[in-house]
């Protein structure tokens, strides 16, 4: 079983949309970074340079997020392939005014990569299993 990784952001004025809530594109970027955190934690003993995002699935915006909320993401590896890893991400919004709620969820597939002789990032078989 893989461990849970954590990543947080504070919602500031530059993150707000015309409806006065968190712009979904910012949430997507934060989910992606939260996924990268879990992927990098998982791969840290390997020779992988890092990961690139291959697919974003099952993105759900469940609750609006407001100015001044903290967005606390919990992410973990739920499936491993040869070079890929699927990460489940849960983003909890939290503030004194609005309490804590599960605001957004997603599953993101990353591919472990290394640089080849030409400096290009190519897939890397990590040989790890999350079971
Ligand atoms: C990631 C990349 C290096 C892999 O290239 P590739 O050698 O053609 O490899 P493939 O895409 O065929 O497969 C790599 C893995 O992704 C998986 N994969 C491919 N498409 C997928 C999808 N839609 N959903 C989930 N997994 C997928 C494959 O099954 C494979 O997994 P495995 O090795 O565990 O069996 C290349 O696709 C790439 O550079 N993509 C752009 C990445 C990017 O710019 N991301 C945004 C910025 S980080």
pLDDT at 116 over 90: yes
Sign of CA dihedral 31, 33, 35, 38: negative
pLDDT, mean of residues 61-67: 97
Domains and CATH numbers, the chain: 5-123 (3.10.129.10)
CA 94/CA 124 separation, integer angstroms: 37
Pick from 47, 23, 39: nearest CA to 75: 39
Query: pTM score, two decimals?
Result: 0.96
Q: How confident is the model at residue 60 (pLDDT cuts 50, 70, 90)?
A: very high
pLDDT at 74 over 80: yes
pLDDT at 1 over 80: no
- Please write the tens of the pLDDT for every residue from 4-22: 999 999 999 999 999 999 9
pLDDT at 92 over 70: yes
pLDDT, mean of residues 89-118: 97
Mutate to test the pocket of ligand 1, among 36, 79, 111 (most ligand atoms within 8 A of CB): 111
Q: Which atom of ligand 1 is nearest to the CA of 125?
A: 33
20 secondary structure, DSSP code = S
The percentage of the chain sitting over the pLDDT mark of 70, rounded to a whole number, equals 99
CA 129/CA 110 separation, integer angstroms: 14
pLDDT, mean of residues 57-81: 97
**C-alpha pair distances (Å), 118 with each of 49, 113, 114, 115:** 15, 14, 11, 8
**C-alpha pair distances (Å), 49 with each of 28, 36, 125:** 23, 12, 12
* Closest C-alpha to ligand 1, atom 24: 55
Distance 60 CA to ligand 1 centre (A): 22
Q: Which atom of ligand 1 is nearest to the CA of 51?
A: 48
42 secondary structure, DSSP code = H
pLDDT, mean of residues 21-40: 98
82 secondary structure, DSSP code = S
pLDDT value, residue 2: 79
């Amino acid at each position: 079983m893989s461990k849970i990784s954590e990543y947080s952001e504070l919602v500031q004025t530059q993150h707000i949309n015309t409806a006065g809530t968190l712009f979904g594109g910012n949430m997507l970027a934060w989910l992606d970074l939260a996924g990268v955190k879990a992927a990098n934690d998982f791969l840290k003993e390997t020779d992988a340079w890092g990961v690139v995002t291959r697919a974003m699935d099952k993105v759900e915006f469940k609750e609006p997020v407001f100015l001044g909320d903290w967005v606390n993401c919990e992410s973990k590896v739920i499936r491993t392939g040869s070079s890929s890893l699927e990460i489940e991400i849960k983003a909890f919004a939290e503030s004194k005014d609005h309490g804590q709620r599960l605001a957004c969820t997603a599953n993101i597939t990353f591919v472990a990569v290394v640089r080849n002789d030409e400096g290009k990032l190519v897939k890397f078989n990590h040989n790890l299993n999350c079971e």
